[in-house]
Amino acid sequence: MTPPSGVVVLTDRLVAREGLDRVVAGAVAGGVRWVVLREKDLPRAERVALAADLRAILADVGGTLIVAGPDPLGGDAVHLPAAGPYPPPTHPLVGRSCHDRSELDRLTTEHYATISPVWPTKTKPGYGPPLLVAGLGSLVRASPVPLLALGGVETPEQVIACVQAGVVGVAVLGALMRAEDPAETAASLTSAYVEAVTPVLTRTRRGVTQVPTSGLRPTVPTQGSSLTARSGHCRPQPQTATKESK
């Protein structure tokens, strides 16, 4: 299974303006194809039901739901905390949260990692210190797996800066959970991601480098989608905006 890229949504029902199904549906209408289900305080049965609802939304566009924790809740993709478990489970897609070089050095069979916090974040105030772009770039170069930038990513300019630092995508929580219009916010961030990877694609056409052709679609649907009505090594380069397939 291909690691996540582009704009990846992390859920948090406690800060979401609406129900998670409606927020995720809006984000998907705005171009998002990857969602990480957190909500680890819920009973397992409720998480299973919520996972099924979100998978149904993502299935319409060939998207993927990743579940935080070692239990994929009936799926095949998980995102693990830095603390464990080690070794990671053998699911088709496994990611891990990392915050520094020592945690990146512990990675073994994981397929990708988030690195945080890049900037100060409203979700975890005081958490850090923030890496900023220079620190992010340094860890990208040291990482054995593709990285997603996480923490305080709220604007198109920040998305572009992260991609230019070498990550394959950005993980966004507050900016989309709190958005008045998740579809519009997702479209803005996704367009910035596409803008940032365009120079890489230009070099690819000239035969300088190779970039996988999976990822987000270059034309971001913001209106008219049925979803809006519903509740240094072999690291892959940032991906283009085409429909994700598993």
Residue 221, pLDDT > 50, answer: no
Please indicate whether residue 243 or residue 14 has the higher confidence score (pLDDT).
14
- The DSSP code sequence of 155-206 is SHHHHHHHHHHT-SEEEESHHHHT-SSHHHHHHHHHHHHHHHHHHHHHHHHT
Confidence of residue 208 (pLDDT cuts 50, 70, 90): very low
Confidence of residue 125 (pLDDT cuts 50, 70, 90): low
- Segment 69-122, tens digit of pLDDT: 999 999 999 999 999 999 999 999 999 999 999 999 999 999 999 999 999 987
